[in-house]
């Protein structure tokens, strides 16, 4: 449980930094105009943190626009989508995402199984030991996790994806 505590506490430290650093950065910039202001390491860190957040938000907006252009390039003109991303709304969304991350982590740790893309992964002693796949016809395939992984990495699609022929021989 100490690893789980470490993960949760480090994520909450990220939450605190994520929520407070832009605010303290703005306050440091505004207070720099007063006559009593002293530029110390905390003020510099707050301002730098604000600029890191701004760069992060701008890069998120840019990458989302790039993904939108790629998505629209394969759609007919009648189905193309346009969006306008407002930076302050993006900031609030990222803060909510960061805030809920520890809650999701605790939920995953307390549940005995995880459902991801229609596949149920069962956990025991912190490790996945069973994989259940439900098919459209209603049948369920249950397999040990180690068998499931070995089947996945020896599929021709995966082996052909590997870059060198030595990797192909090692996997087969």
What whole-number distance in Å separates Cα of residue 167 and Cα of residue 46? 47
What whole-number distance in Å separates Cα of residue 122 and Cα of residue 105? 16
**Percentage with pLDDT > 90 across the chain:** 6
Task: Flag whether pLDDT at 153 surpasses 60.
Answer: no
Binning pLDDT at 50, 70 and 90, where does residue 69 land? very high
What whole-number distance in Å separates Cα of residue 16 and Cα of residue 24? 12
3-state secondary structure at position 56: helix
pLDDT of residue 146: 64
Closest CA to 130 of 146, 152, 118: 146
Task: Flag whether pLDDT at 158 surpasses 70.
Answer: no
Task: Flag whether pLDDT at 21 surpasses 70.
Answer: yes
Query: What is the pTM assigned to this prediction?
Result: 0.55
Higher per-residue confidence, 22 vs 150 = 22
Instruction: Judge whether 142 and 119 are in contact, CB under 8 Å.
Output: no
Q: What is the largest CA-CA distance in the chain?
A: 74
Instruction: Tell me the per-residue pLDDT of 93-112, one tens digit each, with 9 for 90 and over.
Output: 888 887 787 788 778 778 88
């Amino acid at each position: 449980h100490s690893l789980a505590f470490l993960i949760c506490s480090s994520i909450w430290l990220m939450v605190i930094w994520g929520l407070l650093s832009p605010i303290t950065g703005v306050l440091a910039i505004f207070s720099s105009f007063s006559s009593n202001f002293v530029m110390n390491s905390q003020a510099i860190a707050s301002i730098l943190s604000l600029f890191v957040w701004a760069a992060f938000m701008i890069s998120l907006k840019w990458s989302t626009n790039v993904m939108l252009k790629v998505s629209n390039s394969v759609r007919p003109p009648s189905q193309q989508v346009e969006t306008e991303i407002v930076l302050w709304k993006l900031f609030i969304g990222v803060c909510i995402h960061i805030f809920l991350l520890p809650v999701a982590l605790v939920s995953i740790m307390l549940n005995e199984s995880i459902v991801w893309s229609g596949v149920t992964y069962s956990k025991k002693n912190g490790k996945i030991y069973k994989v259940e796949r439900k098919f459209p016809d209603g049948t369920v395939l249950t397999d040990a996790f180690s068998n499931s992984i070995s089947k996945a990495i020896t599929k021709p699609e995966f082996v052909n994806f590997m870059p060198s022929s030595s990797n192909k021989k090692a996997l087969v």
